[in-house]
Structures are given as structure tokens and as C-alpha cells.
């Protein structure tokens, strides 16, 4: 059974840093693109970062470029999101998701999410 | 970037009603579109991919159609458990991102 479990969320002051983790199981982690998606309170879904199977390609939404870094450790079946210089508008539930290629690219499995609150 | 426009932003319907949600993209994406269901307090769930293919386990009252720039998600007979927000996602232009529509909240009258 595919499982994705996020951790590391919490309350952080503006300007602070935090690292989110996502533990994957039930599939060959190193064979898939992975993604971070966030959802601000009462808002829609926004993709944050995507990383290729071997970590050689990383992409970010404009609003987090230069502040967030996505990485992965295929030996540990883990995905990470290092978040620096956090702002109030980064407050959201952060989901990790697997990206399946089946003609097109689809986020087919999602974790339950971890909540980040940026506030003083 | 491909822009995604969903309508309506919300819909209220009775149990048994037919509900239709539309998604329009700013570029031709062939049939590379997905639909997600997000129930309150839960993670999104993939419902449909390739515009019309139901993900395993999804009830047959859900269907998707369309190609090019115009797509539709239909719930043929609304059930109480369908209370959720539905999102479309383009699946064609990647990388860098796979953008979502703004969502459609389905409420039960």
C-alpha cells in the first residue's frame, strides 16, 4: 500500500526556518517525481515544488523561489522541503504527493499533510 | 504557464441531482487533465485522469469529458458523501509545475 506521511510542521515566527519531511513507503520511491503542494486556510491548492527521480531537476512556484529548497534521499525513501525566510503567507497545510506519468502527469497519491503556521 | 479556470466556484444541489463542473485551460492540453476531490479536512484524492478515465475505486456516477481547452466533470446522481471541493489539474505541461484550477465547492441542499 502506498503511504506518504508528512512531518515537521509547526508554529514559526516570520523570517524563521523549518524543514518538512515526507516518508514514503509501498512503492519504489526512486522511480517517481515527487511534489509538494500547499493549501492556505480556506484557499485552493497550489503546487510549491517538484523534484525529479534522481534529484537532478527541481522546480518551484515563483513565490518560493530563493527561499525554499526541495530535496530527496532515495536511500531513506524520504522527501524534504527546507523553508527559509518564512512569511505569513506561507501559512498552509503542506502535502507531499507522488507524480505518476501515464501519458500525462498526475499526483496520484497524497499524504495527509502537515500544518505550517507563520506568525509572531 | 497554463491558466486553469473552473466554474462555478460553488454549487448547491439536492441528493439525486446531476451536477456539472467545467474547467477551461489557456492552452490546448489534448486530454491531459485530472480531477481531484477534496473532502473537508482531508487530502485531495485523484478521481479522474486523462480527462475521462476513472481512478480505481471511484464510483461510476462520476464521469469526465472534454479535450483541448474545455473539460467537464459530471456527477450523475449526487450523493451526500460527494460533499467536497473539486479541482482540475492540467497534466500536459510538465515540468515545471502542474497547476490547479481554483476549485468548485459542491454543497448538498
Residue of B nearest to A102 (CA): B50
Across the range A85-109, mean pLDDT stands at 96
**Residue A114 near residue A11 (C-beta atoms within 8 A):** no
Look at residue B38 in the predicted model and tell me its pLDDT. 98
H helix and E strand count, chain B:
0, 10
> pLDDT per residue over B28-74, tens digit each?
999 999 999 999 999 999 999 999 999 999 999 999 999 999 999 99
- Which of B32, B91, B95 is opposite residue A57, by nearest beta carbon? B95
- Phi then psi for residue A91, to 5 deg, are -60, 125
Terminal-to-terminal C-alpha distance of chain B: 37
Mean pLDDT for all residues in chain A: 97
C-alpha cell at A81: 522541503
Look at residue B94 in the predicted model and tell me its pLDDT. 87
Q: Is the pLDDT of residue B95 over 90?
A: no
Look at residue B93 in the predicted model and tell me its pLDDT. 85
> pLDDT per residue over A54-95, tens digit each?
999 999 999 999 999 999 999 999 999 999 999 999 999 999
Q: Is the dihedral of CA A7, B81, B107, B22 positive or negative?
A: positive
Which of B36, B45, B49 to mutate to test binding with chain A, by most A CBs within 10 Å of its CB? Answer: B49
Task: Identify the contact set of chain B against chain A, taking CB-CB distances under 8 A.
Answer: 31-34, 36, 38, 42-46, 49-50, 55, 85, 87, 89, 91-92, 94-103
The SS3 of residue B12 is strand
Residue of B nearest to A33 (CA): B95
Look at residue B27 in the predicted model and tell me its pLDDT. 94
**Chain A neighbors of B96, CB-CB under 8 A:** 50, 59-60
Look at residue B65 in the predicted model and tell me its pLDDT. 98
Q: Is the pLDDT of residue B21 over 90?
A: yes
Say how far apart CA A50 and CA B95 lie, in whole Å: 8
Amino acid at each position: 500500500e502506498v503511504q506518504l506521511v508528512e512531518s515537521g510542521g509547526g508554529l514559526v515566527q516570520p523570517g524563521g526556518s523549518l524543514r518538512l519531511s515526507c516518508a514514503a513507503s509501498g512503492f519504489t520511491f526512486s522511480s517517481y517525481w515527487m511534489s509538494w503542494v500547499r493549501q492556505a486556510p480556506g484557499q485552493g491548492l497550489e503546487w510549491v515544488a517538484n523534484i525529479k527521480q534522481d534529484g537532478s531537476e527541481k522546480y518551484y512556484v515563483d513565490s518560493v523561489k530563493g527561499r525554499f529548497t526541495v530535496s530527496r534521499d532515495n536511500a531513506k525513501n524520504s522527501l524534504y522541503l527546507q523553508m527559509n525566510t518564512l512569511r505569513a503567507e506561507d501559512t498552509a497545510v503542506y502535502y507531499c504527493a507522488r507524480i505518476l506519468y501515464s501519458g500525462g502527469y498526475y499526483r496520484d497519491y497524497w499524504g495527509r499533510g502537515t500544518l505550517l503556521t507563520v506568525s509572531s | 504557464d497554463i491558466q486553469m479556470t473552473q466554474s462555478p466556484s460553488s454549487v448547491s444541489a439536492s441528493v439525486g441531482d446531476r451536477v456539472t463542473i467545467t474547467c477551461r485551460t489557456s492552452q490546448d492540453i489534448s486530454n491531459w487533465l485530472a480531477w481531484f476531490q477534496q473532502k473537508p479536512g482531508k487530502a485531495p484524492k485523484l478521481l479522474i485522469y486523462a480527462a475521462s478515465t476513472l481512478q480505481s475505486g471511484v464510483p461510476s456516477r462520476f464521469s469526465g469529458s472534454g479535450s483541448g481547452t474545455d473539460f467537464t466533470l459530471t456527477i450523475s446522481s449526487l450523493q451526500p458523501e460527494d460533499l467536497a471541493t473539486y479541482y482540475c489539474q492540467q497534466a500536459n505541461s510538465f515540468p515545471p509545475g502542474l497547476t490547479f484550477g481554483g476549485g468548485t465547492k459542491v454543497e448538498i441542499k
